[in-house]
């Protein structure tokens, strides 16, 4: 598993390095956009969040910085999925965003997917926890802690 994760992180970094000369555009409502210099070399978050048609989805997110680029590898495993289609891995770049939500400035990671709909947003809760949220950095749930991923 560690070899697979290392390979996935390496692939993310290689893919991110091939994006030279491209710039990220800011979306509506984003107050600022910058690379996150606090990440160091790499971090990993894990957790299981609720799923509509099963017991949950296990998230494994590895974020690694390489000079001026921050990349990610996201593995989503659908627990007890049908037809053996249970694990999906995506890679790309990470943007650190700050956004004013209901009068409070929030900070999150945007895991940039192939399309805008493929983007994943991780709200920074504290030094060891991120929360899977929507593009507005909100979560419509009475139990937001069920969407938390913990630092490993």
Q: Tokens at residue 1, please?
A: 């598993």
Under DSSP, is residue 28 helix (H, G, I), strand (E, B) or coil?
A: coil
> Residues 138, 31, 148, CA angle at the centre, nearest 5°?
30
Alpha carbon distance 61, 150 (integer Å): 10
Q: What is the pLDDT along the chain (152 residues), one digit of tens a residue?
A: 344 333 343 444 334 444 433 333 333 333 333 344 444 579 999 999 998 878 899 999 999 988 788 999 999 999 987 765 689 999 999 999 999 999 999 999 999 999 999 999 999 999 999 999 999 999 988 899 999 999 99
pLDDT of residue 68: 80
Write down the pLDDT at residue 40. Answer: 56
Answer yes or no: are the C-beta atoms of 124 and 140 closer than 8 Å: no
Residue whose tokens read 């593009």: 135
Round to whole Å and give the CA distance between 28 and 20.
24
In 3D space, the residue among 32, 56, 68, 13 whose CA is nearest the CA of residue 147 turns out to be 56
Q: Indicate the domain borders of the chain.
A: 2-21+29-151
Evaluate whether the domain defined by 2-21+29-151 bears CATH number 3.40.50.2300: no
The pLDDT value given to residue 105 = 96
Residue 10 is predicted with a pLDDT of 42
Q: Are 10 and 117 in contact (CB under 8 A)?
A: no
**Distance of alpha carbon 43 from alpha carbon 65, whole angstroms:** 9
Res 71: pLDDT: 95
């Amino acid at each position: 598993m560690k070899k697979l994760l290392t390979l996935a992180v390496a692939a993310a970094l290689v893919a991110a390095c091939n994006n030279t000369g491209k710039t990220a555009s800011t979306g509506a409502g984003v107050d600022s956009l910058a690379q996150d210099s606090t990440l160091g070399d790499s971090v990993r978050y894990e957790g299981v969040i609720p799923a509509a048609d099963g017991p949950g989805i296990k998230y494994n997110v590895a974020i690694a910085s390489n000079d001026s680029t921050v990349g990610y590898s996201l593995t989503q495993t659908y627990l007890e999925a049908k037809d053996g289609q249970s694990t999906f891995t995506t890679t790309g770049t990470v943007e650190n965003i700050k956004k004013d939500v209901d009068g409070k400035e929030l900070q999150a990671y945007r895991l940039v997917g192939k399309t805008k709909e493929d983007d994943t947003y991780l709200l920074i809760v504290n030094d060891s926890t991120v929360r899977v949220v929507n593009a507005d950095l909100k979560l419509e749930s009475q139990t937001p802690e069920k969407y938390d991923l913990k630092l490993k």
